[in-house]
Amino acid sequence: MLILNYVPAYMKMNSMRMADQRDIISLFNGNLDLARIFTHRKRAPKGKILGNIAIISATLQKPESRDSIKGVFGISDQVYKRIIEKAKREILSIRQGLSERRNG
């Protein structure tokens, strides 16, 4: 589980600079502790979380983000694709979890 990286990732989600977004995207490549993320959501404004998730989602779609992420982490096209696909799946899981908790 990505427990040790949870706090740094959360801190990075507060500022959302491009460097922070790249780091968050790379952290999605690990095993996230979604239960802990959802527990923390109780202390953070849902709108802020959803807004930050939207920013990261948009970053994943921008072609210029590819070169930035690959350059900073020195990864191949194959690794980049794997990281991006995993990040997209995790973002979807987080969005669904937030929606379920809101409605449930």
Q: Where are the domains of the chain?
A: 6-103
Rounded distance between C-alpha atoms, residue 66 and residue 75, angstroms? 10
**pLDDT band for position 94 (cuts 50, 70, 90):** confident
The answer, as to whether pTM is greater than 0.95, is no
Lowest mean pLDDT among 43-47, 61-65, 89-93: 43-47
Instruction: Name the percent of the chain lying above pLDDT 70.
Output: 73
The residue whose two tokens read 């995207």 is 25
Q: Average of pLDDT values for 13-33?
A: 79
CA-nearest of 24, 41, 43 to 91 is 24
Rounded distance between C-alpha atoms, residue 7 and residue 14, angstroms? 11
- pLDDT value at 56 more than 60: yes
